[in-house]
Amino acid sequence: MSKKWMSGILALTLAGVGLTGCGTTIDGPGGATSGGSSDGQQELVISTWGFSEDFLQASVFEPFEKEHNVKIVLETGNNAERLNKIRQGSTDVDVIYLSDYYAQQGIDAGLFDTIDHSKIPNMDKIYDIAKAPNGEQYGPAYTVAQLGIAYNPDMVSGEVKSWSDLWKPEFSGNLTMPAITATAGPMMVDAASRTAGNETFNEDAAFGQLKKLNESVVKYYSQTSEYVNMIGQGEIAGGPIMEMYFKDIQAAVPNAKFVSPSDGGYAVINTVNVVKNSNQKELAEEFINWQLSKQVQEASAKARVDSPVNTDVVLTDEEAQGLTYGADVIKSLRQLDMKFVNENMPKWTDRWNREIGG
């Protein structure tokens, strides 16, 4: 396989992104056993992050339950712990929400079933980048967000327009960057390679470029709350961040700006897949189709839960504020090859820890 990180600029996102959930299980009448409850009602076990639970129950899960006479049982937690439960065979999950990075791990481990596109007609109504983020046989993306740059204009002279601006003197000593193990970590390694003048990924050039930023970086953040606290307290001028979190930054710094870099923001993709050996595959595919419907996608967008991938969703400028929305924005995003990322992450993480820092 070519060592090219990107599949190119594709027509088309964290939020949902891989968020860490509360690690709880919300059981239906018969507990989390896929197939049926104690009163004979069908159950569909869904593994997800656990954020925006009130909205999801009211607008996504409950309408599907009523339409299909099924009880949805939720298992919540972060990407890694939920995927590990499936890997260990300690759960009866039918449908799983994961970032594309973790979805690729599940596919490589043979944990997910292939899908029947004819059972998911709403896939014809979503952006191309969302249709097969991990391959034609597997589940679609239900939301696509973007990684860009946020900054405080009071601390930076001139406009920030591209990834290369992070290397300018204006960000000396007041920059934050994502840790290598964060969702955005591999994206910034790729951006560093491109900033160094490479169209295809060059590992040595990328790490050499990142070393140049070390003295400018106040902290390599792993959680968005760290970023928000630092910019709110004036410790940093800014740095890479997912657009979905910009509202939190604006609450701390009202005049902060978010930039979609002219050389391309990065697609942050969340997927939904059917777990192998589920005895509810047909129902699982119907649920995925429901998740992609205009009704769900529009409600999620207007509630600021997820950026929509259904192209029939039309939002006003106010409704689209803070969302990754519109064909032009989606087309501008760069998508990492997650199979390549997964194959090389152990090496990159080791090199990062030796050469860049924590």
Residue 54 tokens, joined = 């009130």
- How high is the pLDDT of residue 11? 31
pLDDT class of 37 with cuts at 50, 70, 90: low
- How high is the pLDDT of residue 357? 76
pLDDT class of 41 with cuts at 50, 70, 90: confident
pLDDT averaged over every residue in the chain = 90
Asked whether the beta carbons of 270 and 100 are under 8 A apart, the reply is yes
CA distance linking residue 14 with residue 331, whole number of Å = 17
- Strands 257-259 vs 141-151: parallel, antiparallel or unpaired: antiparallel
22 pLDDT exceeds 70? no
Q: Mapping DSSP to helix (H, G, I), strand (E, B) and coil, where does residue 177 land?
A: strand
Q: Stretch 295-324: mean pLDDT, rounded?
A: 96
Q: Mapping DSSP to helix (H, G, I), strand (E, B) and coil, where does residue 337 land?
A: coil
Rg for the chain, CA atoms, rounded: 20
CA distance linking residue 102 with residue 115, whole number of Å = 18
Q: Stretch 77-91: mean pLDDT, rounded?
A: 95
Q: Note the Cα 254 to chain centre separation in Å.
A: 25
- How high is the pLDDT of residue 15? 35
pLDDT 10s digits, 65-76: 999 999 999 999
Domains delineated in the chain: 6-144+268-325 (3.40.190.10), 146-266+341-355 (3.40.190.10)
Lookup result for tokens 């390549």? 340
CA distance linking residue 193 with residue 197, whole number of Å = 7
45 pLDDT exceeds 80? yes
- How high is the pLDDT of residue 3? 40
- Helices and strands (DSSP H and E) totals, the chain: 14, 12
9 pLDDT exceeds 70? no
Lookup result for tokens 């106010």? 318
CA distance linking residue 183 with residue 345, whole number of Å = 12
| Class of residue 229 by CB neighbours under 10 A (exposed 0-12, middle 13-18, buried 19+) | middle
Asked whether the beta carbons of 244 and 145 are under 8 A apart, the reply is yes
- How high is the pLDDT of residue 306? 96
pTM of the predicted protein model = 0.85
- How high is the pLDDT of residue 14? 35
pLDDT 10s digits, 253-270: 999 999 999 999 999 999
CA distance linking residue 270 with residue 96, whole number of Å = 10
Asked whether the beta carbons of 314 and 150 are under 8 A apart, the reply is no
Q: Which of 119, 99, 140, 127 is nearest to 17 (CA)?
A: 99
pLDDT 10s digits, 102-112: 999 999 999 99
Residue 156 DSSP class? S
pLDDT 10s digits, 145-163: 999 999 999 999 999 999 9
8 pLDDT exceeds 70? no
Asked whether the beta carbons of 249 and 150 are under 8 A apart, the reply is yes
Q: Mapping DSSP to helix (H, G, I), strand (E, B) and coil, where does residue 45 land?
A: strand
> With pLDDT > 70 as the criterion, what percentage of the chain qualifies?
89
Q: Mapping DSSP to helix (H, G, I), strand (E, B) and coil, where does residue 313 land?
A: coil
18 pLDDT exceeds 50? no
CA distance linking residue 192 with residue 199, whole number of Å = 11
- How high is the pLDDT of residue 358? 54
The pair phi, psi for residue 106, each rounded to 5°, is: -65, -40
Asked whether the beta carbons of 140 and 271 are under 8 A apart, the reply is yes
